[in-house]
Structure 1
Amino acid sequence: MSEDVRFTPSALDRSSAFYIAGHRGLVGSAIWRNLESEGFTNLIGLTSSELDLTDRDAVFAFFSESKPRYVVLAAAKVGGILANSTCPVDFLSDNLRIQVNVLDAAREHGVERLLFLGSSCIYPKFADQPIREDSLLTGHLEPTNDAYAIAKIAGIMHVQATRRQYGLPWISAMPTNLYGPGDNFSPTGSHVLPALIRRYDEAARSGAQVVTNWGTGSPRREFLHVDDMAAACLHLMEKYDGPSQVNVGTGSDVTIQELASLVASAVGYKGEIAWDATKPDGTPRKLLDVSKLADAGWSASIGLEEGIRTTVEWFRENSLSVRS
């Protein structure tokens, strides 16, 4: 087994084949938009009906034929607290198979630069705040999404092992809570911010007097616009190399109560905001330490209020076609 790779990152070739796994999802579609705007001309993306990433033979055949030079692994089965806590086997099994298939095929076919996207839920439930990268595997996970978190931790380990054993300069990025165009607005399968947007938009349209949210509203969360995330991914691929995953966030957070108020204001809801404390809150606080990202020369540019406003606009303009 070799030592960790020594590699000097540089600008990616805009004409080389670049595969975005999960290019129709929230993150993948934003990465695709960003790469197009940055002049990349040979982007590759296949829908799940065109390529089942849980099918190992199909994934290897795709890599053999397409021969991408660069890869972002943004494909994953994702969901909110309800989905994660009620279907943990699905989140563990599907994500492990997707990751192992794509990462093994990428190694087999010599992918030069790969970025694996994880999730901030990989960190212990009671990690010191803000959460540093070296907090990984130092405590118990949040039980409501531990299966998903274990799959993502396995992905990080897979990338690190590939660096050590095969000398490939692959990296991992751990985004905080993401939101923006292309999000999942399902009442049962979405994350907190798109769920709030849908709920309050419906309440504003119907004239509802009260909207009741899960939990107490006291947990604190950090939110990053997906277009910022996409920009950070390209920046890291061109500027950063190292075995440690890199946290990607804003470095600031809000309570869920504050978030609900911002969403209510953005959609024009004037009624009462109530809370059902019998429902789970999840992790009390989850704020990422983004020092490593700052050292790499990147910081977020889209403020939360602005980001929510534009996401509400997108949701309303695409209400007939959004994932729901």
Structure 2
Amino acid sequence: MENKTVKMRVMVTGGSGLVGRAIEHVLKEDGGASEGEEWIFLSSKDGNLMDPDETKALFKKHQPTHVIHLAAMVGGLFKNMRQNLDFWRINMYINDNVLQAAHEFGVEKVVSCLSTCIFPDKTTYPIDENMIHNGPPHESNFGYSYAKRMIDVHNRAYCAQFGRKYTAVIPTNIFGPHDNFNIEDGHVLPGLIHKTYIAMKEGTPLQVWGSGRPLRQFIYSLDLARLFLWVLREYNEVEPIILSVGEEDEVSIKQAADAVVKALGFNGEVLYDTSKSDGQFKKTASNAKLRKYLPDFTFTPFHKAIKETCEWFVANYEVARK
């Protein structure tokens, strides 16, 4: 039987999103696949992960040995501010169903995806993996943040009670091809790219929401994908790990907007709408733990990654999520 050669059958939830597509790209285009691995990328069309029976049916159908759990209700600052309850409930249901089904079907390893917004709002910097539960997250997205924090609680509990080695990664702000470029409800960088594109077409000024002063660490989705593969294959801690560029690579929203303007060749006026919320001013994260494991990992330079993302968006404008 051919299945005897399969050492690892990896099921990716949320496989059609930004990170799922990046993992698929690295596996196919960059020679990232290893012999004996089988990969299954699921989208929301394959089943409703808010439903425990549908979730179990997916596990029964695909019989994964490993799971990368990316599926989530996500959105930018303003969507979070409007729908904190939805973000809490929907993500709690999804996460509980996926992790419990993984346990019931004997999945060896689950790697879930968290976010740096889970960290306490009032904290010292840089933040690291030991500070997740040290205080409330920023009030703008507390529903999403607490739901994601609970994955860490879940993982520790599965380990304590059943010896499961389920873990989580904490990326900083992710961007890249196949992102959601929705201006109203998407994240800051894809929103900026879309807005700049429209401003160029219409000959209008580019309006950046907020002051442009908040600081962020951005990670290119293809870099994150390569790190995800390492975590899946090599990282054996239950404790989460921050996946991020270094503190020295933190940029302001203004610097990010400038990089987009340069990449797209926008020559118009850039205005900052300070009536719009800035959200959290900074959430500087330490990648010291990652560097301890992978001292030589090379991140794609920010301007190069922005240029590649802009080029993808322009080339795929009709089909991109907007």
Specify the alignment match of 1:3 in structure 2. Answer: none
Specify the alignment match of 1:60 in structure 2. Answer: 56
- TM-score if structure 2 supplies the norm length? 0.93
Specify the alignment match of 2:18 in structure 1. Answer: 26
User: Which amino acid in 1 is paired with 2:283?
Assistant: K
1:137 to 1:30, Cα distance in 2 relative to 1, 3 A: same
Aligned residues with identical type, % of pairs: 33
Task: Provide the rounded CA distance (Å) in 2 between the counterparts of 1:202 and 1:215.
Answer: 19
Task: Provide the rounded CA distance (Å) in 1 between the counterparts of 2:293 and 2:167.
Answer: 13
Aligned residues: 311
User: Which amino acid in 2 is paired with 1:34?
Assistant: V
Specify the alignment match of 2:280 in structure 1. Answer: 283
Please say if 1:35 is aligned against 2:27. yes
Please say if 1:246 is aligned against 2:238. no
Task: Provide the rounded CA distance (Å) in 2 between the counterparts of 1:105 and 1:284.
Answer: 38
3-state DSSP of counterpart to 1:42: strand
Deviation at 1:187, TM superposition (A): 1.4
Please say if 1:145 is aligned against 2:141. yes
Deviation at 1:146, TM superposition (A): 0.8
User: Which amino acid in 2 is paired with 1:244?
Assistant: E
**Residue range with higher mean Cα deviation, 129-138 or 303-312:** 129-138
1:218 to 1:230, Cα distance in 2 relative to 1, 3 A: same
Contact 2:129 2:240 in 1 (8 A): yes
Deviation at 1:34, TM superposition (A): 2.4
Task: Provide the rounded CA distance (Å) in 2 between the counterparts of 1:236 and 1:184.
Answer: 25
Deviation at 1:125, TM superposition (A): 1.6
Specify the alignment match of 1:260 in structure 2. Answer: 257
Task: Provide the rounded CA distance (Å) in 2 between the counterparts of 1:136 and 1:228.
Answer: 23
Deviation at 1:15, TM superposition (A): 4.9
Deviation at 1:126, TM superposition (A): 2.9
Q: Where does 1:300-319 land on structure 2 (aligned, <5 Å)?
A: 300-319=298-317
Specify the alignment match of 2:227 in structure 1. Answer: 232
Superposition RMSD on alpha carbons, in Å?
Answer: 1.5
Pick aligned residue for 1:135 from 131, 135, 138? 131
User: Which amino acid in 1 is paired with 2:71?
Assistant: A
| Cα deviation digits, residues 228-266 of structure 1 (max 9, x gap) | 111111112222222321001101201111111111111
3-state DSSP of counterpart to 2:11: strand
Gaps of 5+ in 2: none
Please say if 1:122 is aligned against 2:118. yes
1:196 to 1:297, Cα distance in 2 relative to 1, 3 A: same
Task: Provide the rounded CA distance (Å) in 2 between the counterparts of 1:267 and 1:104.
Answer: 45
3-state DSSP of counterpart to 1:44: strand
User: Which amino acid in 2 is paired with 1:190?
Assistant: G
User: Which amino acid in 1 is paired with 2:302?
Assistant: L
Pick aligned residue for 1:292 from 271, 289, 294? 289
Deviation at 1:179, TM superposition (A): 0.2
Specify the alignment match of 1:51 in structure 2. Answer: 47
- TM-score if structure 1 supplies the norm length? 0.92
Specify the alignment match of 1:9 in structure 2. Answer: none
Contact 2:183 2:192 in 1 (8 A): no
Contact 2:20 2:41 in 1 (8 A): no
Contact 1:20 1:32 in 2 (8 A): no
User: Which amino acid in 1 is paired with 2:309?
Assistant: T
Task: Provide the rounded CA distance (Å) in 2 between the counterparts of 1:93 and 1:313.
Answer: 36
| Cα deviation digits, residues 159-212 of structure 1 (max 9, x gap) | 12111111122211000000001100011121000000001111122222x222
Contact 2:155 2:165 in 1 (8 A): no
Gaps of 5+ in 1: 1-12
**Residue range with higher mean Cα deviation, 69-78 or 40-49:** 40-49
Choose between structure 1 and 2 for higher RCO, CA contacts under 8 A separated by at least 6 residues.
1
